[in-house]
Amino acid sequence: MKQSIEVVDARISPEGRLDVLSRFEVSKLLDTSQGDLYKIFRNCSLAVLNCGNSMDDGKELLERYSSFDISVIQQERGIKLEVKSAPENAFVDGVMIKGINEHLFAVLRDVVYVNNEINDNPKFDLDTSEGITTAVFHILRNSKILLPMKPPNMVVCWGGHSIKRKEYDYTKEVGHEMGLRGMDICTGCGPGAMKGPMKGATIGHAKQRITGGQYLGISEPGIIAAESPNPIVNDLVIMPDIEKRLEAFVRAGHGIVVFPGGAGTAEEILYILGILLHPKNKHIPFPLILTGPECAKDYFVGINQFIADTLGIEAQQRYTVIIDDPMQVAREMAAGLEKVRKFRKKTGDAFYFNWLLHIDLAFQQPFLPTHKNMLALELHKDQPVHLLAANLRRAFSGIVAGNVKDEGIRTIEKHGHFEIKGDANMMKSLDALLASFVEQERMKLPGKKYTPCYRVVT
């Protein structure tokens, strides 16, 4: 028997989050014959409206609400959005929840800005490292999340959407300790380890009577349907792709705390380690802490061993592992942020955007996870260690796509497993790590059967 789905039709006004759109911008957005712009806007909007639902399958979400539609209504005094067949949980007594309203117009703001001001704009050479970084800066500045008058206190929290209850509670405890120390929180904006630290920080901020706490969520069109923004996020930014999303984290953030997760978290760890291992970044302070409760110890043992097997001891020296001690995590991060503050002040680097951090083009160019590209990844040690990290990051990015992204799931259904091939010892270590993720139920939400989208060729 097919489950009934409650939906709502509504017309909503912006909550001070969007400037007036021109008639040209509206017509271009709604003209589906001009490309995928409307599709991106529609899919991201549906994900925002799906806030609170337990779902981590982009394909399932789009199919469940296949009748959903959203239109921009232009009026003389501004614009409104008309939604049809929207998820009922986005409304209270027929009125859209204010936070979801803000998120919806943030999606519109970013989709329109990237299309009109970034794409095909000669000012942004997206084939160069400098051009990509400049584009990331402009997107963040346009979203008004860069706050120049604040000291370095933005902590990026990474971790899985599929975590156990004890792990989730632990993320809240860490967030609470950081909130007590005045730290703001940035996450991938979804559930699980992306929600817990924000939830804890709100309590810590309330106790300290901090009213201007920032809870920044950064997503991208491919992942947002599987990781709908949680309701605590008060600043939402939609970056054009996963690589610009990752760069936004490390440019806007001042330190990173990593909680237990799956393939996506491993991708994020490899991304930041690859950047920190670049010779140009060895002198730049950037606190990186891996932490979880005692029950998650095996997860970090596996991650630590994989890093030793692939990137070596130098990579291990760039992070600290703290098990089951939220207060110590917050203290270590506070000390790290002070080093960041002193370094930025000494070098003249901005507090609100990490300009001095060098990011190699290998970490910035979008990776398309096709079967051909996954098989062609250079997974061997006969290359600089930061480039090996970049290629390993791409492997995990492909697995994430095959696990939860609409397009990736459809690709796997059509062509079968991705094949990952490389150095024999490295592949053995990779296979063991992925097998541990499956065994620990870190690939999908708890209770959902996981069918691998990959095959490691050993």
Q: Which residues contact 209 (CB under 8 A, 6 or more apart)?
A: none
Separation CA 117–CA 353 (nearest Å): 20
β 69-75/78-87 pair status: antiparallel
- Tell me, what amino acid is at 270? L
- Residues facing 257 on adjacent strands: 157, 289
* Tokens 């970084």, residue located: 133
CB 155 within 8 A of CB 178: yes
Cα torsion 191, 196, 198, 199 to 10°: value is 110
- pLDDT per residue as tens digits for the range 250-289: 999 999 999 999 989 999 999 999 999 999 999 999 999 9
| pLDDT of 57 | 57
Q: Which of 107-111, 198-202, 225-229, 287-291 has the lowest mean pLDDT?
A: 225-229
Q: Looking at beta carbons, which pairs linking 365-369 to residues 24 or more positions away fall under 8 Å?
A: 365/132, 365/243, 366/241, 366/242, 366/243, 367/242, 367/243, 367/394, 367/397, 367/398, 369/394, 369/397, 369/398, 369/401, 369/402, 369/408, 369/411, 369/418
What are the structural domains of the chain? 7-121 (3.30.1850.10), 148-347 (3.40.50.450), 361-457 (no CATH)
DSSP state of 36: S
**pLDDT beyond 50 at 215:** yes
Q: Which of 157-171, 180-194, 444-458 has the lowest mean pLDDT?
A: 444-458
**CA gap 250, 245 in Å, rounded:** 9
Distance from first CA to last CA of the chain, Å, rounded? 43
**Listed residue (323, 406, 393, 403) closest to 365, CA to CA:** 393
Looking at per-residue pLDDT, the higher value among 306 and 400 belongs to 306
For Cα atoms 7, 8, 11, give the angle at the middle one, nearest 5 degrees: 150
CA distance 254 to 334: 10
Residue 236 has pLDDT above 80, yes or no: yes
Q: Report CA torsion sign: 257, 406, 113, 390.
A: positive
Phi and psi angles of residue 210, each rounded to the nearest 5 degrees, phi first: -85, 115
Question: Is the predicted pLDDT of residue 153 greater than 90, yes or no?
Answer: yes
Distance CA 197, CA 201 (A): 6
- Tokens representing residue 54 in the block: 């337990």
Contact 333, 255 (CB under 8 A): yes
- Residue 363 has which token pair? 């970490």
Give the CA dihedral 56, 58, 62, 63, nearest 10 degrees.
Answer: -80
- Residue 1 pLDDT level (bands cut at 50, 70, 90): very low
> Per-residue pLDDT for 303 more than 60?
yes
Query: How much is the CA Rg of the chain, to the nearest whole Å?
Result: 21
Mean pLDDT calculated for residue range 2-23: 69
Q: What are the backbone angles phi and psi of residue 200, rounded to the nearest 5°?
A: -65, -40
User: Do residues 85 and 67 make contact, with C-beta atoms less than 8 angstroms apart?
Assistant: yes
CA distance linking residue 162 with residue 104, whole number of Å: 25
Which has more confidence, 73 or 75?
73
What pTM, to 2 d.p., does this model score? 0.90
3-class state of residue 382 by DSSP:
coil
The closest alpha carbon to 442, from 428, 452, 455, 454, belongs to 452
Contacts for 241 with CB less than 8 Å, ≥ 6 apart:
220, 221, 222, 366
- Any residues with CB less than 8 A from the CB of 224 and at least 6 apart, and which? 43, 44, 47, 48, 238
CA atoms of 341 and 281, how far apart (whole Å): 16
DSSP-derived letter for residue 17 is: -
Q: What is the pLDDT of residues 102-130, one digit of tens each?
A: 998 898 889 888 988 898 888 899 999 99
Q: Which pLDDT band holds residue 397 (cuts at 50, 70, 90)? A: very high
Give the DSSP letter of residue 428.
H
pLDDT of residue 20: 64
Instruction: Evaluate the CA torsion angle 131, 365, 189, 29 in order and state its sign.
Output: positive
29: pLDDT strictly greater than 70: no
Strand order in the sheet with 69-75: 7-12, 78-87, 69-75
- Cβ within 8 Å of residue 200, ≥6 positions away: 171, 172, 173, 174, 175, 176, 177, 178, 179
Taking Cα atoms as reference points, which of 331, 335, 248 lies closest to residue 285? 335
Residue 5: how many CB atoms within 10 A of its CB? 11
Lowest mean pLDDT among 11-20, 214-223, 262-271: 11-20
Give me the mean pLDDT over the 138-150 stretch: 92
Contacts of 382 (CB under 8 A, 6+ apart): none
Cβ–Cβ < 8 Å for 272, 247: no
